[in-house]
């Protein structure tokens, strides 16, 4: 009994792994130019590259450094977003939209971005939950993960942590295969890999390439990869070779014919010489004119004409299917054609293979679940946050213990309230790391179609705001309220005090979200956040009175601390009495009402509703700004 049979028997998994839609990938006259920032002149990165990769083929893009390999594979994968790109990318002879293209392809970049606190299987299960169709159950998803682990030979490390910079995990070669497994879980028809052997030893590289070749041949996948200087063993695993140098295609065709091609144009490989070394050395030792001559000779040769005929044949087949009213890629993935391809698979499974992704709420749940698990395995910040607010609450409660009713006590109470609001605001600066630390991971996973920006943003915000902002602020507010001895006769006063602490903390955190989303560095984000919080403190209602008019009076409405401070003071003081020493007397006092004190200090109790609206508005503004920045500004420039 094979591994696939065992998985089907154990998990009742339909023969999904036998469903492998076959798509050829063709590219016609692909060019790319980039404008030089200093000279203003355009620099050609690629020049009229044409070719095709069929299902079951492993195509290697070779060439010296700076030859355009990564640029070309980025264009093929639909990831190139800088420079001017021209040409056509066809799947089965048809152009399709970017959304459908991303669902059919996978892209493994050279620098992997993985959460090191997860085990290999946990990471792949999250990928399966986010990328596989929503009507697949848990056991079917797990079976897919187990199958991919077995295919890539990494089942033995399934329960090993991936590893971080501070903790050792899987090896470099194993990590590379985990990154490849992340793309294979959703069974892409076309797989792109950028320098998959980079940083690996020769034995590990050869083992990885044999796995990729076996996967391409046995499962009829179209595999396209870039590679710099393979050894002879790795070279033997290629079916086709695209040789690029200075943006020119000097050869594209079967690996077995490349040496003969160069021999026919006057470049003969010495005996006992490594073929890829010969190819790279040949194109690196000639000048630009010779490279262009090589490219012209190739375009005029039989190999190129056969390749162009192959591309034309794919386009003709597409037109024939179109005229025969056979659904194509642009008609809901060719649903009828796809159903016929899924012979032997039940109807629900066939439909599931055509779905895009799981629902929005499921995306939020699983991203939040993964983020929470990651936080629990890095618990130091969370523990310190709770310990700090508890200790500070007790210290502040002790400093202002059952504060009196003298005028100076009223002043101290206002100072204490203002200090606690400022403390919560600056304590929220740990939110700067929420989106900054995972920015590159988010960009990669979003491009791979794992989730939408909104689902990721909401999930990350929930996991940060509730345990790190809401609960600590509520702890600080509850501790200090009763220790200071504020009015406990009215529950609304208690709720207003604690609620204001929470909302001020949320405002500061979402401000940090917005800043960290677009900041070029964490140091700049820290500096900008400190300046903005200092501005909010200056016009927070304690250091500068709200009675100040003119432009300074407008600034108070730009401070969420001002709204929070004003709300608490106006909520707490009306029920207090303040004893004031009568001038000229040593022991005669006058009891003033709290409203009289507020009136003297230019606080308006009628402004409480404005304060609530003001805090809620700034929270909404910062929250929406952070999403806009994350959605439209945070992009990987490739």
pLDDT tens sequence across 205-218:
898 899 899 989 98
Per the structure block, which two tokens stand in for 533?
Answer: 């919080």
Alpha-carbon span 136 to 346, nearest angstrom? 12
- Residue 438 neighbours by CB distance under 10 Å: 17
- Tokens 């190129």 found at: 304
Dihedral sign of CA atoms 515, 521, 525, 528 in order: negative
Q: What is the mean pLDDT of residues 398-407?
A: 85
Which residues are 49's β-sheet partners? 30
For residue 601, the number of C-alpha atoms closer than 13 Å in the C-beta half-sphere is 21
Alpha-carbon span 34 to 566, nearest angstrom? 55
Q: Which residues contact 394 (CB under 8 A, 6 or more apart)?
A: 479, 483
404/434: higher pLDDT: 434
Alpha-carbon span 162 to 121, nearest angstrom? 10
Alpha-carbon span 230 to 280, nearest angstrom? 10
pLDDT of residue 381: 81
**DSSP reduced 3-state for 587:** coil
Q: Name the pLDDT band for 589 (thresholds 50, 70, 90).
A: low
pLDDT of residue 620: 97
Alpha-carbon span 567 to 500, nearest angstrom? 8
Q: Pairing between strand 577-581 and 589-593?
A: antiparallel
Q: Which residues contact 392 (CB under 8 A, 6 or more apart)?
A: 423, 476
Q: What kind of fold does domain 3-353 have according to CATH?
A: Rossmann fold (3.40.50)
Quote the distance between the C-alpha of residue 312 and its chain's center: 38
94 backbone dihedrals φ, ψ, rounded to 5°: -130, 140
> What is the DSSP secondary structure assignment for residue 578, as one 8-state letter?
E
244/341: higher pLDDT: 244
Dihedral sign of CA atoms 537, 540, 546, 550 in order: positive
Alpha-carbon span 257 to 519, nearest angstrom? 51
Alpha-carbon span 63 to 78, nearest angstrom? 21
Domain residue extents for the chain: 3-353, 360-633
Q: Pairing between strand 42-53 and 105-108?
A: unpaired
**Quick check: 347 pLDDT over 60?**
no
Alpha-carbon span 393 to 387, nearest angstrom? 10
Alpha-carbon span 315 to 309, nearest angstrom? 10
pLDDT in tens, 23-46: 999 999 999 999 877 777 888 999
């Amino acid at each position: 009994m094979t591994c696939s049979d065992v998985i089907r028997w154990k998990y009742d998994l339909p023969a999904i792994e036998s469903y492998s839609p076959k798509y050829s990938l063709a590219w016609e006259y692909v060019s790319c130019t980039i404008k030089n920032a200093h000279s203003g002149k355009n620099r050609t990165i690629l020049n009229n590259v044409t070719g095709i990769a069929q299902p079951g083929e492993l195509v290697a893009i070779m060439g010296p450094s700076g030859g355009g390999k990564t640029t070309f594979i980025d264009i093929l994968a639909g990831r190139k977003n800088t420079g001017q790109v021209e040409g056509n990318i066809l799947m089965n002879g048809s152009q399709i939209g970017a959304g459908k293209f991303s669902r059919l392809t996978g892209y493994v970049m050279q620098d992997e971005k993985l959460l090191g606190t997860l085990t290999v299987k946990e990471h792949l299960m999250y990928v399966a939950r986010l990328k596989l169709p929503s009507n697949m159950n848990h056991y079917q998803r797990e079976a897919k993960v187990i199958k991919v682990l077995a295919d890539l030979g990494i089942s033995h490390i399934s329960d090993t942590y991936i590893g971080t910079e501070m903790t050792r995990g899987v090896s470099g070669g194993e990590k590379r295969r985990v990154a490849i497994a992340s793309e294979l879980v959703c069974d892409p028809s076309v797989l792109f890999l950028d320098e998959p052997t980079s940083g690996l030893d020769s034995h590990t590289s050869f083992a990885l390439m044999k796995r990729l070749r076996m996967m391409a041949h046995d499962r009829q996948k179209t595999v396209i990869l870039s590679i710099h200087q393979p050894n002879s063993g790795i070279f033997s695993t290629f079916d086709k070779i695209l040789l690029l140098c200075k943006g020119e295609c000097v050869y594209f065709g079967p690996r077995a014919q490349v040496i003969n091609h160069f021999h026919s144009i006057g470049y003969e490989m010495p005996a006992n010489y490594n073929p890829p070394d010969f190819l790279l050395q040949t194109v690196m030792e000639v000048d630009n004119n010779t490279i262009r001559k090589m490219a012209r000779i190739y375009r005029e040769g039989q190999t190129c004409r056969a390749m162009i005929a192959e591309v034309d044949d794919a386009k003709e087949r597409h037109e024939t299917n179109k005229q025969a009213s056979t659904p194509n890629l642009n008609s809901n993935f060719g649903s009828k054609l796809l159903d016929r391809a899924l012979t032997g698979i039940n109807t629900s499974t066939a439909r599931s293979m055509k779905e895009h992704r799981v629902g929005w709420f499921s995306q939020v749940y699983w991203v939040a679940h993964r983020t929470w698990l990651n936080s629990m395995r890095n618990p130091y910040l969370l523990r310190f946050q709770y310990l700090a607010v508890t200790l500070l609450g007790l210290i502040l409660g002790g400093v202002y213990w059952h504060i009196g009713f003298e005028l100076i006590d009223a002043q101290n109470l206002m100072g204490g309230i203002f200090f606690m609001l400022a403390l919560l605001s600056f304590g929220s600066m740990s939110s700067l790391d929420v989106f900054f630390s995972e920015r590159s991971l988010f960009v990669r996973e979003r491009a791979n179609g794992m989730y939408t920006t909104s689902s990721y943003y909401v999930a990350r915000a929930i996991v940060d705001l509730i345990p790190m902002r809401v609960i600590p602020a509520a702890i600080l507010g509850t501790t200090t309220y009763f220790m200071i001895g504020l009015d406990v006769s009215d529950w609304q006063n208690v709720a207003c005090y604690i609620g204001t602490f929470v909302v001020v903390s949320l405002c500061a955190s979402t401000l940090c979200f917005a800043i960290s989303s677009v900041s070029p560095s964490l140091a700049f984000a820290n500096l900008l956040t400190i300046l903005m919080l200092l501005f909010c403190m200056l016009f927070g209602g304690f250091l500068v009175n709200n009675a100040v008019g003119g432009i300074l009076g407008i600034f108070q409405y730009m401070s969420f601390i001002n709204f929070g401070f004003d709300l608490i003071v106006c909520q707490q003081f009306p029920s207090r009495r303040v004893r004031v020493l009568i001038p000229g007397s040593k022991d005669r006092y006058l009891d003033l009402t709290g409203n009289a004190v507020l009136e003297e200090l230019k606080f308006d109790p009628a402004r409480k509703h404005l304060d609530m609206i003001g805090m809620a508005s700034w929270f909404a503004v910062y929250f929406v700004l952070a999403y806009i920045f994350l959605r439209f500004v945070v992009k990987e420039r490739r």
